[in-house]
A and B are shown apart, each in its own frame.
Chain A
Amino acid sequence: QVQLVQSGSELKKPGASVKVSCKAAGYTFTTHAMNWVRQAPGQGLEWMGWINTNTGNPTYAQGFTGRFVFSLDTSVSTAYLQIISLKAEDTAVYYCARDLLPFHGGATGFDPWGQGTLVTVSS
């Protein structure tokens, strides 16, 4: 079945970097956009942006430019989120979420979602 499996929890010190992976299975990876969503502890959902899995072109939401990098390895059907120069306020669960519909299928909601990766930034 279609699923996204993310890498495990991370504990990092301020100033370090982290790379979260999101491995797709059950469909052709390059046919659907991949989104990233942040959820701070006890808070709601915040869309970080998306990456075109066909071209590799990323789009970042305001507030997620500069220290956040979306990338791909299409050979292993995996999307990545890298966060550079981590700050305490980056502590959150990070989700990858695929567009429900393929490219050219129109705008769409997100389905499925990865299980989430908790990134904790603490000295």
Chain B
Amino acid sequence: KQEVTQIPAALSVPEGENLVLNCSFTDSAIYNLQWFRQDPGKGLTSLLLIQSSQREQTSGRLNASLDKSSGRSTLYIAASQPGDSATYLCAVLTQGGSEKLVFGKGMKLTVNP
């Protein structure tokens, strides 16, 4: 059974720091991995999608990498801003026919001005 872990559960940093958010998964048989952002009381916003054949994806200040063989992904946020404060979730799309996303429990990020 696929399990996705995000450690730590929360992180508080001063503005301007470069951040690395970690995600690990137990079964390397995945099709892709998505990073999402969730603001309080809001829905999930897709940030980056990495296909299993890819090593990384970039969007603006965000860069996500994937090491499928070791079951790890990282989301790098450059020059963090208070507006980056949110909960970040990673999810893997597992093989098995249901196209189900298996989510980590998320990491709550607070960027202080």
Answer yes or no: are A and B bound together in one complex: no
A residues near B (Cβ < 8 Å) are none
Q: Which residues of B contact A (CB under 8 A)?
A: none
